[in-house]
Chain A
């Protein structure tokens, strides 16, 4: 059957009334939780994962799609209105969006974000439907050596987002790598750094670390910060709708943002943030009124928001075709898929084709519902944020611990949540970026296992690592990922990138 036939069949699954309902619930929950500051899509999916425990695989995946897109979009609202990025991928949105909101143009800013997200999600999901099957064909030629090269590339891309200080970026990354060592070594069954504690034998849960570093660390930081007065929410003044000029200034950035965001998200070593940074700088270069940048340029909201959502769909390409989680969100989704005995990867399309095409179709459905839900409800989301901060953060902690307790109600797990929460606070205090810690924990063990598998299969022959064209290409890209930013930085153009990355989390 051809792609469109499979997709049509997918729509049959996604448009079943129950599945439509799951999509609606997912979008609503995802947006509602994703809109909370400090809770990005990773946390949103992690917190709401339990909701899907009871559903059948199709319903669960469809709700995932809704939660994922909802959470991805939800972050932009807080960025624009509160100057508090809900997640790392909406930092750029805050730069121009909040300036617009302060001028009373919060309505158009939210609208261009919502419509841009829709356009990007639509195009990128079709991209997922059309390109993913081709990538599947390559997937089986990936052996441990190629995967290892891929991990190296992923590490290099992350390093580009270290921020102003390589020292602190590397330190954060190696803290994550060290945490990744804890537990039973898969290849030999030996316990490493478990100190005889049985609870550590399975290693550190990525979700526990992410929830603790982001939600609890952020809460502690905000609470301890003396300068933080009452954050005022900008009311949406004037017309909530976009003017003709807004439209004409927005549509090209939407398309360019999609074109940048999707491939970067689909690149196993990409990441939503990087797409938004690139989109922002591209729009700034191409803008008719570049002097408006920094003072509320709508292009600076439209482009990055489109890139953000396009990369959300892009991330699903390696996840579904290679089983490779390239973001914390994807890692949590991977765990969610495994919950139902589904192993995303080369064979998912073959073994569970109706489910996969159902997911792709439901991504399109979820994307549409997101628009329907958000445009009329912009006013309501604003009100959600007018919850006083003390209640807001108290509620965030209730939900953050709920996720951990729901997954594993053990004192030890909550203890780790607390310890990592304090770690997250301290890291923020001393200007260390948070994301590399989580990335290190995710990628470190993967890279190690692949390298050791490759060398075990080759019986110790190191040339296996550069044995195939794929490995060579990936390793070359990895080298370029390190060298190009260095050159850019040397020529003074990396300033925006490094400055943005510094504010990350």
Chain B
């Protein structure tokens, strides 16, 4: 549990904008490619299912080109320097919840998310925040699952306490 407030070096806005333009162009390409490879059924429709995808792909491509020009003209706003440590903690917490939910149940998985988010905002230690998160999540689970019959995945903890 080391402090890892990795700070992102300030990138030049232009280069990021070129990446955005490239991503937009790729999305446009994927849409066009996927649409072109779509099955040709459903011929009775006057304006087929391919018209809108092609139009949107074309528009995204135009926007990609426009973004390049905007980047060349330094039209992108200055960005604050970012800390990536917190982002990694929170994204990690969400990923952990997603992957563990089915196995450990709502309370434990969501408790981990809670603790990881708190850690992202600089609050620890985890041995304290994880139990707090699990207790809180269990209360939430109990209210919504038992009180309101919502199907939230139950795990060993939920079964243990209600068993």
Give bound CA distance, A421 to B149, whole Å: 28
How many B residues, CB 8 Å from partner?
Answer: 75
Mask, A172-192, CB within 8 Å of B = 1, is 001101100100010111111
Give bound CA distance, A425 to B91, whole Å: 11
Kindly list chain B residues whose C-beta atoms are within 8 Å of the C-beta of A415: 98
Give bound CA distance, A405 to B44, whole Å: 39
| B38 & A390 in contact (Cβ 8 Å cutoff) | no
Contact residues, A187-213 vs B (CB, 8 A): 187-193, 195
B42 touches A (CB below 8 Å): yes
Residue among A51, A226, A398 having the largest count of chain B Cβ atoms under 10 Å: A398
| A425 & B87 in contact (Cβ 8 Å cutoff) | yes
A477 touches B (CB below 8 Å): no
Kindly list chain A residues whose C-beta atoms are within 8 Å of the C-beta of B90: 216, 219-220, 223, 397
Segment at the interface with B among A134-142, A324-332, A346-354, A452-460: A452-460
Contact residues, A26-56 vs B (CB, 8 A): 50-51, 53-54
Q: Which residue of A lies closest to B7 (CB)?
A: A226
| B7 & A451 in contact (Cβ 8 Å cutoff) | no
B126 touches A (CB below 8 Å): no
Q: A54-B149, A227-B80, A431-B77 are in contact. Are A174 and B60 (CB under 8 A)?
A: yes
| B150 & A421 in contact (Cβ 8 Å cutoff) | no
| B31 & A178 in contact (Cβ 8 Å cutoff) | yes
B45 touches A (CB below 8 Å): yes
Kindly list chain A residues whose C-beta atoms are within 8 Å of the C-beta of B137: 398
| B24 & A226 in contact (Cβ 8 Å cutoff) | no
Mask, A394-405, CB within 8 Å of B = 1, is 110111011001
Contact residues, A112-164 vs B (CB, 8 A): none
| B31 & A405 in contact (Cβ 8 Å cutoff) | no
| A405 & B122 in contact (Cβ 8 Å cutoff) | no
**Min CB distance, A211 to chain B, in Å?**
12
Q: A225-B80, A225-B82, A393-B121 are in contact. Are A452 and B144 (CB under 8 A)?
A: no
| B45 & A448 in contact (Cβ 8 Å cutoff) | no
Segment at the interface with B among A80-88, A282-290, A306-314, A406-414: A406-414
Chain B facing A: main interface SS: helix
Give bound CA distance, A456 to B45, whole Å: 6
**Min CB distance, A95 to chain B, in Å?**
20
Q: Which residue of A lies closest to B143 (CB)?
A: A51
Chain A facing B: main interface SS: helix
Q: A53-B148, A223-B86, A227-B80 are in contact. Are A397 and B31 (CB under 8 A)?
A: no
Contact residues, A457-471 vs B (CB, 8 A): 458-460
**Min CB distance, B135 to chain A, in Å?**
12
Contact residues, B138-163 vs A (CB, 8 A): 140, 144, 148-153
Residue among A170, A185, A458 having the largest count of chain B Cβ atoms under 10 Å: A185
| A190 & B82 in contact (Cβ 8 Å cutoff) | no
**Min CB distance, A187 to chain B, in Å?**
5
Kindly list chain A residues whose C-beta atoms are within 8 Å of the C-beta of B86: 220, 223-224
> What residues of chain B have their CB less than 8 Å away from a CB belonging to chain A?
7, 16-17, 20, 24, 27, 30-31, 34-35, 38-39, 41-42, 44-49, 52-53, 56-57, 59-60, 63, 66-67, 70, 75-77, 79-84, 86-87, 89-91, 93-95, 97-99, 101-102, 106, 110, 113-115, 117-118, 120-123, 129, 133, 136-137, 140, 144, 148-153
18 contacts between A and B (CB under 8 A): A51-B148, A54-B148, A165-B75, A167-B66, A170-B63, A193-B34, A195-B34, A389-B121, A395-B136, A398-B113, A398-B133, A402-B140, A406-B152, A414-B98, A421-B94, A429-B79, A431-B77, A459-B46
> What residues of chain A have their CB less than 8 Å away from a CB belonging to chain B?
50-51, 53-54, 165, 167, 170-171, 174-175, 177-178, 181, 185, 187-193, 195, 216, 219-220, 223-227, 388-391, 393-395, 397-399, 401-402, 405-406, 409, 411, 414-415, 417-418, 421-422, 425, 429-431, 444, 448, 451-452, 455-456, 458-460
What 7 A-B pairs come out closest when comparing CB atoms? A188-B42, A390-B121, A390-B123, A223-B86, A414-B98, A394-B117, A185-B49
